[in-house]
Homo-oligomer: A and B are copies of this chain.
Amino acid sequence: MSSELLAESITDLQYFLAQCRASVDAELDRLVPAEDIRPESVHQAIRWSLFAGGKRFRPALLLAVGRTFGATTDSLLRTACAFEMIHTYSLIHDDLPSMDDDELRRGRPTCHIRFGEATATLAGDALQALAFQTIADDWQLPAETRVRVVSELARGAGTPVGMVAGQARDLEAESRDVDGDELESIHQLKTGALIVSAARSGAIIAGAEDALNSVTDYAAGLGLLFQITDDLLDVTATAQDLGKTPGKDARAQKATYPALYGVEAARQRAVSVYEQTCHALDGLQQPTTLLQEIARFILQRNA
């Protein structure tokens, strides 16, 4: 396993992220049924979306938080994969014609375009079940820890305070005007909740109970920062950078930060959220360079 490599390079973010991606991809490949296992259609669809070049941001954050508080990569890796499974199922379902109706993601046809709507729906459903099974079956963790992490993941993924709640409120908002507070509260659910659950799960596995409040605040800031820069990229980036059609949110008249505040004010908001995010780490005794670098990376990302 790669825990030693990660430990040596903990201040080198690019190297850390590349190592996370390699470890997570290899473990996901072990956890997900092969393409020739029946029902082949569903397993092919799952792998099509799961191995589409995702950045593995949620797993990396979970690993970074867990490593910061002393957990081994091995003890964190399966839970990290479970969060990526939930994230991927949500992308598959969000892309469906009845939802955001997207035909392209990361430069390739979306799951339902490639495999049909029924198979895409089932692939998402199966991935959600597999995420919870992955944690429940992770014999490296005490049962008490697994139960807490299952609960964290479920709360971050569902309703009323998780990702599904955010997606539902985002759909509701398409038919009416929303103000800045409402926009932030939608994003806190749609993107932030799962990011917060991932970070908290890393801390829980590390046994860092005292740090949970700081980690929660840090991750909430990170989620908001992620969404603001996502909205900015939709306005400013090229299709090649994004692997999807830019400007789509604006054309769909979705509430976005640039649409509400203008590009310049949205950029300033990103900087101020970045500063708050790092500030949340101030009270911790552990070195938090890696977590601060992740926040800066999100602020400065171009894809």
Q: Give CA–CA (A64, B158) in the complex, Å.
A: 30
| Structural contact, A129 and B162, CB atoms closer than 8 A | yes
Residues of chain B within 8 A (CB-CB) of A129 are: 128, 154, 157-159, 162, 164
Residues of chain B within 8 A (CB-CB) of A153 are: 132
- Indicate if A117 sits at the interface (CB-CB under 8 A): yes
- With contacts A39-B168, A160-B38, A160-B43 taken as known, whether A98 is within 8 angstroms of B126 at the C-beta atoms is no
- Copies, count: 2
Quick one: which of A28-49 are within 8 Å of B by CB?
33, 37-39, 41-43
Shortest distance in angstroms between A194's beta carbon and chain B's nearest beta carbon? 11
A contacts with B: majority SS = helix
Residues of chain B within 8 A (CB-CB) of A128 are: 125, 128-129, 158
- How many residues from A make CB contacts under 8 Å with B? 53
- Indicate if A118 sits at the interface (CB-CB under 8 A): yes
Closest B residue to A89 by beta carbon equals: B125
| Structural contact, B42 and A164, CB atoms closer than 8 A | yes
Closest B residue to A127 by beta carbon equals: B158
Closest B residue to A129 by beta carbon equals: B158
Residues of chain B within 8 A (CB-CB) of A89 are: 125
